[in-house]
Amino acid sequence: MTEEVSVLRGRGRITASIALLLLLSLALNAWLFVGRPALAPEAGGGELYVCPMHPQVVQDHPGDCPICGMKLVRRGVDSASDVLSDSLAATVALSPSQQIMANVAVAAAETGHYRYQLSLPGRVVPVEGNQTKVSVKAAGRIERLHVSTTGESVRRGQPLFEYYSPGIGAANRELLLAHSSTSGQKHVLVNAARAKLLSLGLTDKQIEQMKPPTPPSDTVVFTSPISGFVMEKMAKEGEWMKPGANIYEIADLSTVWVEGVAYESDLRKIRLGKQVTVSSSSHTTEKFSGEIIWIAPALDRTTRTLPFRISLRNDDLKLRPEMYVTVRLVDVEDRQVVLLPEDAILQLGERQVAYVEVRPGHFAARDVVAGTAEKGRVPVYSGIAPGEMVVVSGGYLIDSDAQIKRIGQAPHGGHGHVETAGVSQGGRELFRAPERHSGGDAAAHAGEETYVCTMCPDVVSSEPGRCPECGMELVKKQGTDD
């Protein structure tokens, strides 16, 4: 029992140690990425040097970035303004050389009529009213099939099958008796016999052929009610059928429907009566013209798309049911809209953003509402005014710089106290921006107290503080000649 308790206590200590290490790691990361203030520049006029990759690194003399080691780039600063004001004002300032390096280009926003072409997927289906099922309404047996294969073309009135039915034969005899009657109720008897034959699925033409002097028969020939193609055959010769059984399904394909789907962002472009063109991969050089005849009242719950239908003439039968096609809508905006190059619009998650040059070398982000790109141009419905200078190349690099500045900048006080290039916390300087030293430079520190990072030996400082790369405390080391 004592051993079990000891084991449990040992496990508890291990778990507590792991939890403590995790907490210390989280605290260190929070200090590194949130708590560390930005490098503050020297106040007053003159020149500043910044890191192209880490804009928060600013100092008043040339050198290397303490984070990535890149050479700092010279940048002028107005003594009457704060170097951080651009970031705080949600703008990004780039020198001419930086704009060249980032391939930044601007152009004036133009207006015009936007001609768009929308391509949507579609599928060919038979017209519902042009489909019919040939069935029997009386019990009987199929004596012979005149059309025996699926896909055969048939004409209206063409014989389909011969059907033996005792029920139809009995009704046929009643009709002959009614016609031979000499009573005053002959007309009533004939109409009653005709009605019975109609209820058994016969047509007026078939009933006329049963009148005297035609002898009675239990077999009748059924014909096709429409011209078209046999889409399905559901019976065989000699098979007994029940009332209501289907024998054929026939479709007239001289006119077909194309069932398309539109996405939510394109709903305003789908209108009843809208003329469209349809193309298929089997007829690449041919276009089929039609119009939208129906739009679904609700979106499909699963695909979040809106179904619609197009009616097309198909006399040459080039469009077959279940064929996939492409539906194209071409239209022109009735009003003048702002037109921008496609690369000017940045898709940042759910936001659409464009950068505008508010003054030379200074860029601000604008939330915009843009449409669908067509031939490299995008209509912008709000957010940009005609004539404004918009960034059409390098926008993502500008946005990356803005994101880095927003993350790296700390609140900047204006009470007259200015830190030199370095990191300070609560008014106390933690370290002066250390420089990376080669072996020759290290000799200059011989005989002086220096502070180095045990994890990053090239980080050397003349004052205590923390390493700008890993955040560890710098270790005091007496410089000596090697």
Lowest average pLDDT, out of 199-203, 336-340, 450-454, goes to 450-454
Percent of the chain with pLDDT over 70: 73
pTM of the model: 0.50
How much is the average pLDDT of 370-392?
88
Task: Kindly report the average pLDDT of the chain as a whole number.
Answer: 79
**Which of 180-184, 231-235, 259-263, 334-338 bottoms out in mean pLDDT, i.e. has the lowest?**
334-338
Mean pLDDT score, 466-480: 70
471, 465 contact by CB (below 8 A) = no
Residue 422 has pLDDT above 80, yes or no: no
Q: DSSP readout, 238-273? A: T-EE-TT-EEEEEE--SEEEEEEEEEGGGGGG--TT
Residues 130, 235, 131: CA angle, nearest 5 degrees:
5
Domains 131-251 and 253-334 share a fold: no
What are the domain boundaries of the chain?
99-114+335-406, 131-251, 253-334
CB 211 within 8 A of CB 179: yes
Whether 352 and 338 have beta carbons less than 8 Å apart is answered as no
Per-residue pLDDT at 29: 47
Q: Which of the pair, 369 or 60, is modelled with greater confidence?
A: 369
pLDDT score at 387: 92
Higher pLDDT, 106 or 451: 106
Residue pLDDT, tens place only, 197-250: 999 999 999 999 998 888 999 999 999 999 999 999 999 999 999 999 999 999
Res 46: pLDDT: 58
**Residue 246's pLDDT is what?**
96
Between 319 and 117, the higher pLDDT residue: 319
Cα distance between residue 387 and residue 338, in whole Å: 9
Averaged pLDDT, 420-448 = 42
Q: What is the CATH architecture assignment of 253-334?
A: Beta Barrel (2.40)
- Per-residue pLDDT, 416: 35
Give the span between the Cα atoms of 2 and 181, in whole angstroms. Answer: 117
- Residue identified by tokens 């041919």 is 286
**Three-state secondary structure call for residue 321:** coil
Can you tell me the distance from the alpha carbon of 355 to that of 261, in angstroms, rounded to the nearest whole number? Answer: 34
CA pair distance 145, 422, nearest whole angstrom: 97
For residue 399, what pLDDT is reported? 84
Instruction: Give CATH for domain 131-251.
Output: 2.40.50.100
Q: What is the pLDDT of residue 258?
A: 97
Per-residue confidence (pLDDT) for residue 18, from 0 to 100: 62
> Angle, nearest 10°, between helix axes 166-180 and 186-199?
160
State the Cα–Cα distance between residues 143 and 222, nearest whole angstrom.
Answer: 11
The DSSP-derived string for 405-443 is: HHHH------SS----SEEEETTEEEEE--EE--HHHHG
Place of tokens 């429409």: 226
For 33-75, write each residue's pLDDT tens digit. Answer: 444 444 444 444 457 777 766 666 778 888 888 887 878 877 6
Whether the Cβ atoms of residue 123 and residue 324 lie closer than 8 Å to each other: yes
Residue 383: which of 369, 363, 362, 364 has the closest Cα? 369
Report the alpha-carbon distance of residue 454 to residue 126 in Å, rounded: 78
CATH number of 99-114+335-406: 2.40.420.20
Query: What confidence score (pLDDT) does residue 405 get?
Result: 63
Q: Give dist(CA 449, CA 452) in Å, integer.
A: 10
> What phi and psi, each to the nearest 5 degrees, are found at residue 22?
-65, -45
Residue-wise pLDDT for 88-119, tens only, equals 346 788 888 888 888 999 999 998 887 777 88
**What distances in angstroms separate CA 46 from CA 15, 70, 95, 224, 323, one per listed residue?**
56, 22, 16, 96, 72
pLDDT (0 to 100) of residue 417: 35
DSSP summary character for residue 374: B
